[in-house]
Chains A and B, each alone.
Chain A
Amino acid sequence: MACTKNAYFTGWKIALILIKMLGKPSHSSRKSDHYYVNSLLICCIIAILVVQPPSLVALWTEKYDAYGDGLAQEQISSSLGNRKADLLIKMTPSVVTNETLQKGQNPLMEFRLSDSNTDQSFSHVTYYITMEKDGKVLLSNWFHAHDGNLVLKIRPNPQNNASGSSNSTDNTSTKPSKVSIKGQQEPLIGSYIGTVKNPVIVIGPVFSNSGLYHFKVRIATVDSDTGVLPADQQRTYDSWFSIGNAIYQKIYMDGKELPIKLVSYYDILMTLALIIRI
């Protein structure tokens, strides 16, 4: 750190010296003023570039942790043999929180594999879907869509829902019960068939807790129910979806009670503190 400070001082010293040397204001004309300003700028830039490379390099190369997620919809491209395939993963409704789930909301997860060039859905797609949260596998099974559009209806266990209170660390410690899947099974491979009209119903601790859910989707068949893709062509798509965590709190300002709702789409909210600075 001290080294960086010294470098800064040196840089500015050199810059000032250069400005003094090159940028002496000449008498009068606008041309000379222009020259003066230009010289000043060039000197500053040169000085900073000459003296500061370590800090600049550090600025460009330093890695910062950044987190993102697909929120409620994501389209991912990959190759499928000599074809290109897009996988659309969509959650409906787009906003799902512990609050909406407690009100009885059953979100739909839609998976659609389509040709990147034609946007036509692939037929007879077999999906192997794994859903994880915090490294724990919550759901892992085979699913199938004859028309390529697979729909899962999620029914989270109500008793495991995050309460939304500040005591929400219990959220992750609740022991997950087994997920049960209800739906018609494809007779050969035994995968569950889910359509828009008759979605596969997934009941269990899926989406029971707020936070980020990791979906791993492997494509095993296309074109026919037995059209098993070669092992090196069975692509896995990764996607992340977030279940929001809403908390309510009341604050008092000027003797008035103000209700506040805060929703986090990444992590569980612990406490809300209000600091008023005047």
Chain B
Amino acid sequence: MLNLQLAKPKTWIDKQNNIKIQFASQPENPIVDKPAELKFSVQNLKTGDYLKNLLARVVVTDGQRSFKFTNIAIPNGNFSVKYLFPDTGTYQVIGRIDDLDENKNYRSSTLSSFQVFVPLQISGGNIHVIAITATLIIIAIVFVIAIFVRRKRKKEKEYGLY
């Protein structure tokens, strides 16, 4: 059973088909070229029961490149796929969930869409850490320049240039 509660799931509610789909990526903000798990949970909207024996197709796209996972069997309402995001940016994850009868005829089918943000990272660091570090460096440089200017003015004052 997938634990989506830890991963801040996004919800897709299909009232026509009485289906609730929850989606979460692990980690929440995937890292470029490191495997991320895209987790789905499919429930009956009214009862909350996990839907069984479904078939899924997942497409991950950034608008230019696309990757698809097909024929994913969902025996108990939960499934996940692993994907390496090749670049930073916002990705769209499309999930097609089919409910088929024993003759492979469609009972229903739902097309859902979720967004995943892959932040900018340098040498494995997070963008937030990098931004804070850069800010601190800039502050330090400004501080050093200010001290230098102040000393210079003090010296000039001592020699009576003003």
Contacts and interface: CB of A to CB of B under 8 A. Distances in A.
Contact of A140 (B57, B66, B105, B111): B105
A189 B61 contact: no
Contacts of A140: 105-107, 109
Given A137-B105, A140-B106, A231 B94 contact: no
B61 A226 contact: yes
A220 interface: yes
A188 B111 contact: no
Nearest to B59: A188
Nearest to A189: B96
B59 A226 contact: yes
B94 A226 contact: yes
Contacts, number: 62
Interface in B72-99: 92, 94, 96
A236 B110 CA distance: 13
Given A188-B94, A231-B15, A220 B111 contact: yes
Interface in A181-229: 187-190, 218, 220-221, 226, 228
B14 interface: yes
A142 interface: yes
B90 to A, nearest CB: 12
A189 B14 contact: no
A32 interface: no
A10 interface: no
Instruction: Tell me if B's interface is mostly helix, strand, loop or mixed.
Output: strand
A33 B87 CA distance: 97
Given A140-B106, A141-B106, A188 B112 contact: no
B12 interface: yes
A100 to B, nearest CB: 27
B51 interface: no
Interface string B9-22: 00011111000000
Nearest to A178: B103
A231 B59 contact: no
12 contacts: A128-B109, A140-B105, A140-B106, A188-B59, A226-B59, A226-B94, A228-B92, A228-B111, A228-B113, A231-B14, A231-B15, A234-B16
Given A221-B111, A231-B12, A231-B14, 12 more contacts: A128-B111, A140-B105, A140-B106, A142-B96, A188-B94, A189-B94, A189-B111, A226-B61, A228-B113, A232-B15, A234-B111, A236-B16
